[in-house]
Amino acid sequence: MDRIDAMNAFVRVVDTGSFSRAAEALRIEQSTVSKRVAALEEELGRTLIQRTTRQQQVTDAGRLFYARAVELLALYDATTTELTRDTALSGHLTASVPVVFGQRFVVPFVARFLKRHPEIDLELRFSDRYVNLLDDNVDVAIRVGTPADSSFRARTIAEAGRVLVASPGYLARRGTPKRPEQLADHACLRHTGLPASTWTFERRGAPVRARVHGRFTADHSEALLALARAGFGLALLADWLVAEDVKKGRLVALFGAKGSPYRTTPAPVQAVFPPTRSGAPRAAVHPRVRAFVDALAEHLAAALPG
């Protein structure tokens, strides 16, 4: 029995909550996962997972072994990463990226990454929803903004500035807000990834919160951009997304723009890694995932404004 493979199979079963999902994540047969866990239990002389026809439950011995296995696998991964740092990386890597951000900043980076690592198979999934990394077998998700679920392990790899914008026609009809408090009297185009009713700005280092409401919400930044261009309201969007429209006069930059007394809080660009269902820390990231994230962080440092 390969103890590393057996421990990895057991940890995946606990993380994903089932033998079938663990098999999908490891890209092996479910029967292989079952055999590896059974061999581990036989060697230890203890039942780690109590199985029934309908469910499985981790035993007390299983929880103890899980915590130790996570630490051992993390140490193993860290050691192999150090020893193989200068050798070719290989295997399948699945990354989830936001639609617009992914098209603008991740796709241009992919060719160089694949040339650097010819043994890696990369799968990009474009989605603006916060995917379940465990259930969807995603190795890393790139997200703009802080995930609401604190159980995710995340690494900030860049920051994206934001600016409040509106069309000249909208401002002519409704007036130009001078203070965040005045946003309560305006139609605000809201992204579902931001707090539903409050936008936060900053003046002289102090936060200024504004109550916002509006008829339109979306989980896609370009939809908000289109509505802002059409004069339906104010939108708080990434500076790189609106820069061309502001330059050509299709939109007017308000809070967060150069010269405005009100600043916006930059949105962190984060690499989000799968959590563990038990809450145990799992510090190691697979070498090919780390290579992808490190290279993307380097690319974003040069590609993003500011």
pLDDT mean across residues, the chain = 87
Per the structure block, which two tokens stand in for 256? 């967060």
pLDDT-derived band at 266 (thresholds 50, 70, 90) equals confident
| pLDDT tens digits, 211-263 | 999 999 998 889 999 999 999 999 999 999 999 999 999 999 999 988 899 99
Contact 163, 237 (CB under 8 A): yes
Q: Which residue has the higher pLDDT, 195 or 24?
A: 24
Looking at residue 87, its pLDDT comes to: 55
Does the pLDDT of residue 298 top 80, yes or no? yes
| pLDDT tens digits, 72-115 | 887 887 777 666 554 568 889 999 999 989 999 999 999 999 99
CA distance 72 to 8: 10
Contact 93, 123 (CB under 8 A): yes
Range 148-175 average pLDDT: 87
Contact 44, 69 (CB under 8 A): no
CA distance 234 to 186: 7
Does the pLDDT of residue 283 top 60, yes or no? no
Range 173-179 average pLDDT: 96
Range 174-181 average pLDDT: 95
SS3 content of the chain, % helix, strand, coil (to 5): 40, 25, 35
Does the pLDDT of residue 280 top 50, yes or no? no
Task: Match 């581990």 to its residue by tokens.
Answer: 40
In total, the chain counts a number of residues equal to: 306
Q: Which residue has the higher pLDDT, 302 or 77?
A: 302
CA distance 6 to 1: 7
Looking at residue 79, its pLDDT comes to: 75
Task: Match 């809080």 to its residue by tokens.
Answer: 265
Looking at residue 194, its pLDDT comes to: 67
Does the pLDDT of residue 290 top 70, yes or no? yes
Looking at residue 74, its pLDDT comes to: 79
Does the pLDDT of residue 119 top 60, yes or no? yes
Contact 131, 96 (CB under 8 A): yes
Does the pLDDT of residue 182 top 90, yes or no? yes
Looking at residue 197, its pLDDT comes to: 83
Range 2-14 average pLDDT: 88
State the burial class of residue 88 (Cβ atoms within 10 Å of its Cβ: 0-12, 13-18, 19+). Answer: exposed
CA distance 306 to 266: 11
Q: What percent of the chain has pLDDT over 90?
A: 49
Does the pLDDT of residue 279 top 60, yes or no? no
Question: What structural domains and CATH numbers belong to the chain?
Answer: 3-83 (1.10.10.10), 90-160+269-303 (3.40.190.10), 162-265 (3.40.190.290)
| pLDDT tens digits, 18-68 | 888 888 888 889 889 999 999 998 898 999 998 876 778 899 999 999 988
Contact 58, 19 (CB under 8 A): no
Q: Specify the 3-state DSSP secondary structure of 264.
A: strand
Contact 257, 250 (CB under 8 A): no
Looking at residue 278, its pLDDT comes to: 46
Looking at residue 195, its pLDDT comes to: 63
Looking at residue 88, its pLDDT comes to: 63
